[in-house]
Structure 1
C-alpha cells in the first residue's frame, strides 16, 4: 500500500485518501452539514475508524481541505541554479495546478459550503470557513513563498513583501474565474486553456516584478 503526505507532512494511506475523497464527493452531491455517520456509510468504514484517524468532525474536515489543497504545487527547480526559464516553468505549474483545483466540482462545493457556514452565527458556526482559510488559501500561499524568495535571491524578481507579491500573482491567475464558478457560471476550463491562462498570468507577473536578469551575476538584458 502506498502513502502520500498532506501539506503538513502527515502520511496518508490509500484507504485514508479514499475516505477524504468520499467526503469531497458528499459535499458535491449534498452540500450542507456533513455527519460522521454519512461519511462512514459512503466510505464503507466505521465511525470509530474515522475518529481514530481524524479525531472529531473538524479534524476530518481539516484533513479533507489539506488533501484537496495538496494538489496545488509548484514545479521542481534547483534553488542554486535558478534562472528565468526555470522560475517561469515553476510558476506556470503552480498556476495551472491551482486553476485545475479551484475549477473542479469538489473545490466549488467545498468553497460554497465554507462560505455558507462562515456567514452563520452561533456556537460552532464558521468552522469550515476558518479551516479552508488556514489549510487552503493561507497554506497554498506559504507553499509558493519559497519559490518567490528563491527568485528574489537569484535576482530574477524584486518585491518588498511576499504576501503582496503572492496576491498579485494569484489575482492575475484567477481573474474572476473563481467567483463566477461559485455563482454558478458554467465555465469550460479544459487543459489547454488552463495552460494558456497559467502562462499568460505568469508572464504578466514577471513583467510586473521581473528584474530583467537571467540569473545572479549575469548582466541585465535590456528590453
Structure 2
C-alpha cells in the first residue's frame, strides 16, 4: 500500500509526480473500467512498474489510492472545537458542499461512477479484487462521512447543532447537497453546474441543514 508518509485521504504530502500518476490511473479507469493493469498505468504515466509497486504496493493498492485521490478533492475545513462559532461551522459545511458538488459533476467522476455501478457486487465481497463499486463506496462516500462527522460533532459540542446520531445527520446533509444531481448526471442529463450555481446550492443546502439540526436554544443552552 502507500508509504506511511503519504496522506492519501486529503492529498497532502503527495508529490506532484504521484498526483500525475493517479490522474493517469483515473483516466484509464474511465476508459477501461476496473480491469486496468500496472503495466497500462506505467505506460500512460511514463513511469516504471517498479515505481508503482514501491508507492502503492500492488494493483489493489493503486486502485484504492486512485479513488481516494479523487475523493480527496472534497475538502473539509478544520474547525477549532474550543473557539468554534456559528460562522466558522457554516463556512466549513458550505466548503464541503461546494467541493463535493464540483467533484461529482466532473466528467471524470461521472464516468468513474458509471463504471463502478456497472461492476458493483454485494458488499460482502469487499475483499474482492475486481469490485470497484466497493472500493468507490468505502473510499468515497464512507471516507467523506468519516471526515465530516468530527465537524458535526464539534458543532453539537459547541451547542450549535442538535442530533442524537451523527450518521443520520450526515446522511441528511449529504442528501440536501446532492438532491437528484448525481443520478441525473449518471443518466446523461446535461446539467449546467456553474461555479455560481454550485456556490448557491452549497449555501442553500447548509442553511436547510441548520434549519433542521440547529440548536433551538443557542450555544451552551443560552
TM-score under structure 1 length normalisation = 0.88
Check conservation: 1:158, 1:210, Cα contact below 8 A: yes
Q: Which residue does 2:132 correspond to in 1? A: 128
Q: Which one of the candidate residues 45, 61, 64 is aligned to 2:47?
A: 45
Q: Return the offset for 1:74.
A: 2.1
CA contact (8 A) 1:117 1:129 kept: yes
Give yes or no for contact 1:88–1:202 (8 Å, CA) kept in 2. Answer: yes
Say if 1:5 and 1:12, in contact at 8 Å, map to a contact too: yes
**Cα distance in structure 1, aligned partners of 2:28 and 2:111:** 9
Once the two structures are superposed, the pairs formed by residues 1-223 of structure 1 within 5 Å of their partners are 5-7=7-9, 11-31=13-33, 33-119=35-121, 124=128, 126-216=130-220, 219=222
CA distance in 1, matches of 2:192, 2:162: 35
CA contact (8 A) 2:110 2:185 kept: yes
Contact 2:10-2:69 at 8 Å conserved across structures? no
Deviation of the 1:33 alpha carbon: 2.5
* Distance in 2 of aligned mates of 1:209 and 1:114: 33
Determine helix, strand or coil for the equivalent of 1:16. helix
Contact 1:74 1:93 in 2 (8 A): yes
Given the two structures, how large is their TM-score scaled by the length of structure 2? 0.88
Count the aligned residue pairs.
215
Uncovered stretches (5+) of structure 1, i.e. residues with no partner: none
**Bigger mean CA deviation after superposition, 4-13 or 64-73:** 4-13
Which secondary structure state, in structure 1, belongs to the residue aligned with residue 119 of structure 2?
A: helix
In the alignment, the residues of structure 2 paired with residue 58 and residue 145 of structure 1 have an alpha-carbon distance, to the nearest angstrom, of 27
The range that moved more, 156-165 or 102-111, is: 102-111
* Kept in 1: contact 2:78–2:151 (CA 8 A): no
> What residue ranges of structure 2 are gaps of 5+ in the alignment?
none
In structure 2, distance between residues paired with 1:151 and 1:174: 22
CA change 1:9–1:40 in 2 (3 A) is closer
